[in-house]
A and B are shown apart, each in its own frame.
Chain A
Amino acid sequence: MLMIKQWAHRFFQWFCHPDFYDEIQGDLEELYRRNLVQGKRRAQWQYLGRVLGLFRPSLMRSFSHDLLMNLPMFKNYFKISLRNLLRYKLFATINILGLAIGLAAFLLINEYIRFEESYDGFFSGADQIYRLSTVQVVNDEIGVKDAMTYHPAAKVLHDELPEVEDYTVTYKFGELVFRQEDKLISEEQVIAADANFFNVFDYQVIQGSANDMLAEPNTLVLTQSKAEFYFGDQDPIGETLEILGRFNQAFKVTGVIQDIPENTHYKFDMLMSDESIKEQYENDDWNGFNYYAYLKLKPQANIFEVKDKVDDLSRKYLGEEGSMGFNLFPITDIHLKSDYTFEAEIPGSEKAVTFTRIIALFILFIAWINYINLSTARAVNRAKEVGLRKTVGAYKVQIIGQFLFEALLVNFLAALIALLLSELSLPYFRQLVGQAFLPHVWNHPPFLYSLLTFFVVGSLASGFYPALILSGFKPVAVLKGKYRNSKSGALLRKGLVVVQFTASVVLIAGTFIVYQQLRYMQGKDLGISTDFVVGVNMPRGQNNEEARERITTQIQSFKDALRQHSAIETVGGTSNLPGGDGSDINSNAGKLRIVGLTDRQTGTIYLQFNDEDFLAAVNMQLLYGRNFDRNRVADSSVVMVNQAFLRKFNISDEQSVLNEYLQFGEDDTNRKFEIIGVVKDFNRTSLKSSVEPTLYLPDYAPAASVVKLNPEQYQEGLAYLQETWAEFFPDTPLDYTFLDDRFAALYEQDRRFGEIFSTLSVLAILIAILGLFGLSSFMAVQRTTEVGVRKVLGASVPSIIGIFYKDFLVLLGISGLIGIPATYFGMNSWLENYAYRIDFPWLLAILAVGIVTVFALITVGYQIYQVAILDPAKTLRED
């Protein structure tokens, strides 16, 4: 409170014309003292009031000299700045290059993040579009979240809720094989959609009518590039394409739409009318949730009210006691925030985006710090200039203006180079992040705006403090030659160097940890052996009993044929190949009990269907009991369980469940499955998830085969596999992968994150070292005389270097003390994503500090050495 008068006085002093100042200030003071009798506070307010009353043009000083719009002066600033840059080429290069690299990296990452966050935002009314999905509620907690829903669900919500404007239901096919003339083409991005599709997703229709091109059965809508692929310049409308497998008939092309952009979670190349799969969805009805459904709400709808109503409808349609529920999820959040299984494509990771953003900021700050450190450290060189300018009448503001202008110039050059750098490195960057998101940056307005913004922000952020320091020199002291860098300035520089070191430590340690975790996951014993095991998807029969039986026999003879060859050790079958993504499995969410041993329990149980040879093919270990046996009639109702399943049911004596019976559902008369074996836990998917409670059921003609090759002649075996396939299934392309590769592919995103992390870390450290290089070179030159005197007095070169090292070692020590805990908190939160994770590797963190120390000491040592080897007779003569 008592500061009012002081501030008012300062303000007055600032604006008042100096000719009037003494008089008026005296009057003010006299009046203030007189007013004091009414209380100090009141007097101060009155004082302030008077000062404000005095703020009028006739009493103000002239501000005209502050106007930086002084062209000749600008020319002079420009000339001086340029001369300084050219004179100290090393520092200019370090400054400009550091800023340019930092800015380029930051802006590219900025674009990438913008792209990641732009997913599905381009539909009109995107924020009113929600995906209808299914969640399982166990004990009032959401258990499994499934991105898909029941076929009739969306229509029901549309009919019941006035807030729902429109809806569409789609089905995503796995793979369909197309035939055009004698070519077989495998299409993986085909979805079946209803006629409402374009009411929700307003893709641009190029040919055909949006409302009825999906109305008839057996029709297709192609994207523009697919249409070109199949029909070239021909008009595709009315042409036909044959789909093999389950359809085995010709489909008519009824429309062409724009290509689907990269930034949508639901990509496709073709749409099929949902009438074509009518039989399937009528069968599924309320039994299976295999459909992606989307609702578009009315603009005025309140999502919270709608969600409440949806909860009520869940009970109405999915049963009071049922554990399933509808859920709405905004489509714009799907890409980064979805934690649902069975996503249409592997979603991005919000955490990775956040981490990347932080690293990008690190890089930018490190570059700015370089500028600040180098400019303030080198202030001595400019002190005389400032002193002289002040002596001939320059105001402080003008000098601040001059140095800000200089910062602006340096940053401008850096921005130009950054533009060039980011354009040139864009292809590599796209590869690094694995997103094809931007053809060019130089003609991309958002990028240019960001460039402009950060050029201005950067100029101010990096230029303001040095300008303030430089403009503060007292001319008398400086011109007398009494100038020295101030203590507080040196302290600030040290602080900033610590920030840079700390950031480097965190980044190096972070990189190590990401790679360590990756190595751990790829090297961990999965519980099965996947070496030289090939997974092959079997052809699927058409949708009728007869055709299915035919294909089953064919598959059987194919497998028998494979077994004939010596290069093939085992051929097994399974419903879900190991190494698929988390949702590539069957599950059951109903009640389940072990008859006589446990009560009925709810919670998701995973189901895999294998034949008797699967066990041997992947070396899955049977702990107790026996394998399936297709010759026993009773073996259609048997099951094997894994250890995780027994843990879920709290059974510690694993052997005790043998020959007991499993029963699904609530009804005591339901079919019972005899437990014939207990298998050792194995990871079927990425180590982000733990081993799920799983049941293994017999299926002697499952969807995929696992072929264990003889390691010594695996190429021969592979060749034989291809030949045999072509012989048995000429209509279907062979689709095989090594299981090892499937597992490696699961870590693709993590590997990519590791690459981004390490690349950016290298950049950040490079810029930091660049800055340190400049700073230490300057410091060494500054202390040339000191070094000379020390040498004359008998100091050796190593002992001189040691003196300089002492300072830096302290800074490095502090960086380690801050950096290691910072890494611990940051990286632990990343490691928590994984069910199987490494412990925090303290040794690696210390190693990171070691690496930064070595780099720093080499850099500093090199510069000191340059000075220390000089002949003191020469260096000392100069003074």
Chain B
Amino acid sequence: MKAYPLGEFEEIVLLTVGVLYNEAYGVAIKDAIEEKAARNVSVGALQSALKRLEKKGYLESRTGESNEQRGGKPKRYYTITAYGKQALQESRDIRTQLWESIPKLALDFKCS
């Protein structure tokens, strides 16, 4: 049983928030995921993931500045909490463990 529940999409969002560091707000996160993970992200899915992560305590947020582009509405910046970092760490450890326990032969493919 994982001590820190974290879904696949949630993990990507959490990582991206980390990547963007101080600039992580809705549109920026969406753009980054679309670019780095090469997948389409709907605002709805992203927002509900952000809210979920915040509720779990992996993220915290602060109200940022607003501008004309946003019709006067402020941005909300997200940052990873220590708890969030542990969740990422755990997820990564599990992967690494699994990765390392794969027998060599199983991955002996010629990838052209």
Contacts of A27 in B (CB 8 A): 25-27, 30, 43, 47, 70
**Stretch of A51-59, A120-128, A164-172, A770-778 contacting B (4+ beta carbons < 8 Å):** A51-59
Asked if residues A58 and B70 are in contact (CB atoms below 8 Å), the reply is: no
Using A50-B43, A53-B42, A54-B43 as known contacts, say yes or no to A26 and B66 having CB atoms under 8 A apart: yes
B 41-85 to A, binary, CB cutoff 8 A, 1 in contact else 0: 011110110011000000000000010011101111000000000
Contacts of B76 in A (CB 8 A): 22-23
A176 located at the interface, meaning its Cβ lies under 8 Å from any Cβ of chain B in the complex? no
- CB <8 Å contact, B51 and A53: no
Given A30-B70, A33-B69, A59-B51, A24:B43 Cβ within 8 A: yes
Question: Complex formed: what's the CA distance from A364 to B49 in Å?
Answer: 55
Residue numbers in B under 8 Å from A817 (CB-CB): none
Number of interface residues of B (CB under 8 A): 20
Q: Assess the B48–A58 pair: CB atoms within 8 A.
A: yes
Taking the complex as formed, is A31 at the interface, i.e. its CB lies under 8 A from any CB of chain B?
A: yes
Are B42 and A22 neighbours in the complex by a CB distance under 8 Å?
A: no
Task: Say how far A238's CB is from chain B's closest CB, in angstroms.
Answer: 87
* Complex Cα–Cα for A30 and B48 (A): 18
CA gap between A56 and B30 in the complex, in Å: 18
Q: Of residues 1 to 37 in A, which have CB atoms within 8 Å of B's CB atoms?
A: 20, 22-31, 33
CA distance A53 to B74 in the complex (A): 21
Bound Cα distance from A25 to B47, whole angstroms? 11
Tell whether, in the assembled complex, residue B45 and residue A53 are in contact, meaning their CB atoms are under 8 Å apart: yes
Q: Are B73 and A50 in contact (CB under 8 A)?
A: no
- Interface pair A24/B47, CB less than 8 Å apart: yes
B39 → chain A closest CB, angstroms: 15
Smallest distance from the beta carbon of A323 to chain B beta carbons, Å?
Answer: 78
Task: Tell me the smallest distance from the CB of A345 to a CB of chain B, in Å.
Answer: 70
B42 pairs with A25, CB closer than 8 A: no
The answer on a CB contact under 8 Å between A53 and B44 is: yes
A43 CB → nearest B CB, Å: 14
- In the assembled complex, which residues on chain B have CB atoms less than 8 Å from the CB atom of A26? 26, 66, 70-71, 73-75
Q: Are A29 and B44 in contact (CB under 8 A)?
A: no
> Is B43 in contact with A29, judged by CB distance below 8 angstroms?
no
Q: Are B75 and A23 in contact (CB under 8 A)?
A: yes
Interchain CA distance A22-B47 in the complex, whole Å: 12
Contact, CB under 8 Å: B48 / A29: no
Tell me which residues across on chain B come within 8 A of A53, comparing CB atoms.
42-45
Given contacts A23-B26, A30-B27, A53-B43, contact A59 B48 (CB under 8 A): yes
Find chain B residues with CB under 8 A from A22 CB: 73-74, 76
- Specify the chain B residue showing the minimal Cβ separation from A22: B73
Which residue of A has the minimal Cβ distance to B77? A23
* A843 to B110 Cα, complex, angstroms: 106
Of residues B47, B51, B69, which shows the largest number of chain A Cβ atoms within 10 Å of its Cβ? B47
A451–B75 CA distance with the chains assembled, in angstroms? 57
Do A58 and B51 touch (CB < 8 A)?
yes
- A26 to B63 alpha-carbon distance, docked (Å): 12
How far is the CB of A335 from the nearest CB of chain B, in Å?
62
Describe A's contact surface by its main secondary structure: helix
Instruction: State whether A55 touches B71 (Cβ < 8 A).
Output: no
A56 and B71 contacting across the interface, CB-CB below 8 Å: no
Q: From DSSP, what is the main secondary structure of chain B's interface residues?
A: helix
A29-B69, A58-B52 given; A24·B26 CB < 8 A:
yes
B26 and A59 form a contact (CB under 8 A)? no
A56 and B48 contacting across the interface, CB-CB below 8 Å = yes
Chain A residues with Cβ under 8 A from B71's Cβ? 25-26, 29
Nearest chain B CB to A40 CB, angstrom units: 16
Are B45 and A25 within 8 A (Cβ)? no
Which residues 16-36 in B have Cβ within 8 Å of A in the complex?
A: 25-27, 30
Interface string of A36-69 (1 = CB under 8 A from B): 0000000000000010111110110000000000
Taken residue by residue from 58 to 97, chain A's Cβ proximity to chain B (1 for < 8 Å, 0 otherwise) reads as 1100000000000000000000000000000000000000
Q: How far is the CA of A31 from the CA of B25 in the complex (A)?
A: 13
> Which chain B residue has the least Cβ–Cβ distance from A53?
B44
Contacts of A31 in B (CB 8 A): 27, 30, 43
CA distance A26 to B75 in the complex (A): 7
Q: Give the CA-CA distance A27 to B70 in the complex, in Å.
A: 7
Which of B42, B44, B45, B74 has a CB less than 8 Å from the CB of A23? B74
B22–chain A nearest beta-carbon distance, Å? 17
The residue in chain A whose Cβ has the minimal distance to the Cβ of B70 is A26
Contact across chains for B44 and A30 when beta carbons are under 8 A apart: no
Given the known inter-chain contacts A24-B26, A26-B66, A33-B69, please indicate yes or no for A59 contacting B47, CB distance below 8 A. yes
Task: Please pick, from A25, A33, A56, the residue contacting B44 in the complex, using a CB distance under 8 A.
Answer: A56
Q: Whose C-beta in chain B lies nearest to the C-beta of A21?
A: B73
- Given the complex, which residues of A lie within 8 Å of B44, measured CB to CB? 50, 52-56, 59
A22 to B73, CA, bound (A): 6
Bound-state Cα–Cα, A270 to B25, Å: 92
B66 near A20 (CB under 8 angstroms)? Answer: no
Q: CB-nearest residue of chain B relative to A32? A: B71
Q: Which residues of A contact B52 (CB under 8 A)?
A: 58
Alpha-carbon separation in the docked complex, A55 to B76 (Å): 20
Give A27 to B74 CA distance when docked, in angstroms. Answer: 9
Q: Cβ of B27 and Cβ of A50 under 8 Å apart? A: no
> Inside 8 A of B51's CB, which chain A residues have their CB?
20, 58-59
Pair A29/B70 contact, Cβ less than 8 Å: yes
Cβ of B33 to closest chain A Cβ, rounded Å: 14
**In the complex, residue of chain B having the shortest beta-carbon distance to the beta carbon of A54:** B44
In the complex, what distance in Å separates the CA atom of A50 from the CA atom of B43?
A: 6
Contacts of B48 on A, CB cut-off 8 Å? Answer: 56, 58-59
Measured CA separation A55–B26 after assembly (Å): 17
B25, B43, B51, B71: most-surrounded residue (chain A CB, <10 A): B43
B69 contact from A30, A50, A52, Cβ within 8 A? A30
Neighbouring B residues of A20 by C-beta, 8 Å: 47, 51
In this complex, what residue of B is CB-closest to A16?
B47
Chain A residues near B45: list those with CB within 8 A. Answer: 53
Complex CA gap A23/B47 in Å reads 10
Complex CA gap A20/B76 in Å reads 10
Shortest distance between the CB of A11 and any CB in chain B (Å): 13
Determine the distance from Cα of A333 to Cα of B75 in the docked complex, in whole angstroms. 72
Rounded to whole angstroms, the CA-CA distance of A334 and B70 in the bound complex is 72
User: Please, which residues of chain A bring their CB within 8 A of the CB of B74?
Assistant: 22-23, 26
A26 to chain B: closest CB distance in Å? Answer: 3
Which residues of A lie under 8 Å from residue B42 when comparing CB positions?
Answer: 50, 53
Q: Give chain A nearest CB distance to B46 CB in angstroms.
A: 9
Q: Give Cα A28–Cα B44 distance, bound, in whole angstroms.
A: 10
Residues in chain A near residue B69, CB distance under 8 A: 29-30, 33
Residues on B with beta carbons closer than 8 Å to the beta carbon of A25? 71, 73
Chain B CB within 10 Å, residue with most, of A27, A33, A50: A27
Cα distance, A22 to B64, chains bound together (Å): 11
- Quote the shortest CB–CB distance from B13 to chain A (angstroms): 14
13 residue pairs of the A-B complex, CB under 8 angstroms, read A22-B76, A23-B26, A26-B75, A27-B26, A27-B30, A27-B70, A29-B70, A30-B27, A31-B27, A50-B42, A56-B44, A58-B48, A59-B51
Closest 9 CB pairs of A and B: A26-B73, A53-B44, A27-B26, A26-B70, A29-B71, A23-B76, A54-B44, A58-B48, A53-B42
Other A-B pairs, 9, CB within 8 Å; known A20-B47, A23-B26, A26-B26: A23-B25, A23-B74, A23-B76, A24-B43, A27-B25, A29-B71, A30-B69, A58-B48, A58-B51
